[in-house]
Structure 1
């Protein structure tokens, strides 16, 4: 049965992993799922409605802060190999043997690297608003690089994760922001935007994720892979996944309308249900 506590209420927990303390939260009870965070994300960046719906649908959802960020100790870095190591060491420390592994944005890159390194631990790979490895047919927009390295207000939030030209998307953004602000106790420190901007670079690159073995693994894996995207993602355009549609044998694609880099924020219940149907299928 799902946990009685919502994602905005569950306590922070900590586990020692090779000389550092990783912070994590658990929502629900059922099929184990581990979710990796976006660029500049901390545990409080997840929409509670999305996590609660996953729990309601029978998942035991684990979210966590990367080393040196949020409430976790250790050295901070956005090197995908280090983020994947955090992910795999958390899975090992919590005694999880097989998980639905998910990742949003940068976390999707981390999840792909983690699956490359330990495919036996992953039953399904769930990617949200992220990039495939290798050459891209469409790069992200310069606007993201302008927004990602500065302190963000609500308008930036809309531009980053929603569709500014859509009234419905703007309304969804306001509701999402309210939900994310719900937690009162034990909130995570934000990732310093100055430091994060230094890690990002000045503009879009092609490829964004140049690890060829990861693309080779996706071409040959038997693990089901889902990409859930928005139709106007200014960071990682969903068109790059459609370009690989016939090349990746287990790839499922779901694209949600009139939204941006946070489709699960605009459509939290629908996104969770798409993921549950994918895992059940």
Structure 2
């Protein structure tokens, strides 16, 4: 375990120091990660956050070992055209303090609800990526009054495959680990993809990453509770995702009544960095469709 986490932290650190090259008009607006962040007290921790754009709120919940700086800039800018995008660091990550309570998926879901309360948002659309998708499910199930529409990207409801892949990743060396983030054929055509990833100003602490890994392994899952989830839900999967494969997204779609399922061709777990604008427009389309329109 220690060996894997050292390798994972090394990769994150290298990504953090890499130059983020221009793409898709990236220079037409300020670098979001360069904007100052604020902090607010949530339960026993201080959570760091930024709010960008205007419109209905959209809370973005980051995945394993990530900070809010690692959201794709084009994705956020596109979403911010019509929504007030709320970015934040999970407890112990980036600019957020650890607090005194143990890190768990449900604890981070409670933090997400607490952040909305602290910022004065009665409810919000919620997008969760990877581990963030697990947190988002717990948020919608345990605090349904805080969630408007739900977007789950590269997620699962079963605990066993989440625990299994977490343990498997811990055994991989750096080269093998990198091979799971993008499809090989796509990466061959974009050899500079890693260097163009967004940069994190606050590299992760190895102990916090270990705690997040344990939280993933110990998560109990939501499959048997999703029938009680009555939220308009969009499920997004990369068809070549071998970390949380699309079969797990199929299962989510079957469990959540009326869920939308969108599959991206030639995309893996980091599809956000492959097609950020297309992804943002897919999400925006889902968010603007009203339930009463579907009922007509």
Q: Give TM-score, length-normalised by structure 1.
A: 0.80
By how many angstroms is 1:210 displaced? 2.7
* C-alpha contact (below 8 Å) 1:144/1:160 kept by paired residues: no
CA distance in 2, matches of 1:51, 1:176: 19
The two structures, once aligned, show a CA RMSD in angstroms of 3.0
* C-alpha contact (below 8 Å) 1:221/1:250 kept by paired residues: no
**What residue number does 1:277 align with?**
285
1:178 maps to which of 174, 192, 196: 196
Does the C-alpha gap of structure 1 residues 241 and 170 become closer, same or farther in structure 2, counting only changes over 3 Å? same
* C-alpha contact (below 8 Å) 2:235/2:253 kept by paired residues: no
Does the C-alpha gap of structure 1 residues 262 and 173 become closer, same or farther in structure 2, counting only changes over 3 Å? farther
Q: Give TM-score, length-normalised by structure 2.
A: 0.76
Q: Give 1 or 2: higher helix fraction.
A: 2
Deviates more, 1:101-110 or 1:227-236: 227-236
1:117-169 per-residue CA deviation (whole Å, 9 max, x = no partner) reads 111111111111111246669x648763335xx7x6xx567424211x21x34
**What residue number does 1:7 align with?**
32
CA distance in 2, matches of 1:10, 1:157: 31
Q: How does 1:151-230 map to 2 (within 5 A)?
A: 158-163=178-183, 165-166=184-185, 168-172=186-190, 174-175=192-193, 177-181=195-199, 187-193=200-206, 196-197=209-210, 200=213, 209-211=219-221, 214-230=222-238
* C-alpha contact (below 8 Å) 1:35/1:101 kept by paired residues: yes
Does the C-alpha gap of structure 1 residues 170 and 89 become closer, same or farther in structure 2, counting only changes over 3 Å? farther
The number of aligned residues is 260
**Gapped runs of 5+ residues in structure 2?**
1-28, 290-296
SS at match of 1:180: coil
1:167-206 per-residue CA deviation (whole Å, 9 max, x = no partner) reads x34555734642513xxxxx542223465246536xx97x
1:210-255 per-residue CA deviation (whole Å, 9 max, x = no partner) reads 33xx334422333111111111223211112214544431221111
Does the C-alpha gap of structure 1 residues 94 and 145 become closer, same or farther in structure 2, counting only changes over 3 Å? same
Does the C-alpha gap of structure 1 residues 40 and 278 become closer, same or farther in structure 2, counting only changes over 3 Å? same
Does the C-alpha gap of structure 1 residues 142 and 17 become closer, same or farther in structure 2, counting only changes over 3 Å? closer
SS at match of 2:277: helix
Q: Does structure 1 residue 72 correspond to structure 2 residue 90?
A: no
Does the C-alpha gap of structure 1 residues 189 and 135 become closer, same or farther in structure 2, counting only changes over 3 Å? closer
1:22-79 per-residue CA deviation (whole Å, 9 max, x = no partner) reads 10111211110111111111112211111111112x0111111111221111338541
SS at match of 1:258: coil
